[in-house]
Amino acid sequence: MNAGLLKGSCHCGAVKFEIRTPLLPATRCNCSLCRRKGALMTAAFAADDLTIVSGKEALTLYQFNTGVAKHFFCKHCGIYPFHQTRKDPGLWRANIGCLEGVDPYALEFSVSDGQSLSVVEDA
Ligand SMILES: [Zn+2]
């Protein structure tokens, strides 16, 4: 899939963003956080390929375990739009469910073993 411009937003619309990335390979993750949020994520992309169009002030940061990954969510609607990855802090992934014109249920995906990246038991 080519790396076209994709537009995304959180549920309430406070956070709007654009990313330039291939959607695939789409990934789910089995870490303790992703198990709970259940989002399908884009392929990883460089920080420069993410533009926060509006709502930077609506974003809240959540970190756990190693404290490397940065998980952002909208403080108004609670939706996770994108995060900075644990494996490579230069790379980001976005929530495919937030993207315009993309059906996350129509995509094939693999499950990434985020659980094994945790250094604390049961994290
Ligand atoms: Zn929101």
Give the pLDDT of the chain (123 residues) as one tens digit per residue: 456 899 999 999 999 999 999 889 999 998 889 999 999 999 999 999 999 999 999 999 999 888 888 999 999 999 999 999 988 889 999 999 999 999 999 999 999 887 776 655 544
Q: Is residue 42 part of a domain?
A: yes
Structure tokens at 98: 């937030």
| CA 62 / ligand 1 centre spacing (Å) | 15
- What is the extent of the structural domain holding 30? 5-9+14-114
Number of domains in the chain: 1
Asked if the structure places residue 20 within a domain, the reply is: yes
Token duo for residue 62: 């959540």
**Residue 119, domain member (yes or no):** no
Q: Count how many residues are written for the chain.
A: 123
Asked if residue 108 belongs to a domain, the reply is yes
Cα of 47 from ligand 1 centre, angstroms? 21
Of 91, 123, 112, residue with least CA distance to 39: 112
Ligand 1 centre distance from Cα of residue 78 (Å)? 6
DSSP letter for 42, please: P
Does 102 reside within a domain? Answer: yes
Domain for residue 120, yes or no? Answer: no
Residue 85, C-beta contacts closer than 8 angstroms, at least 6 positions apart? 44, 69, 91, 92, 93
Whether 55 maps to a domain, the answer reads yes
- The alpha carbon of 116 and the centre of ligand 1 are apart by a number of angstroms equal to 30
CATH number of the domain to which 49 belongs: 2.170.150.70
- Cα(120) to ligand 1 centroid in Å equals 31
CB atoms within 10 A of CB 27: 19
pTM for the full predicted model? 0.88
Contact 101, 8 (CB under 8 A): no
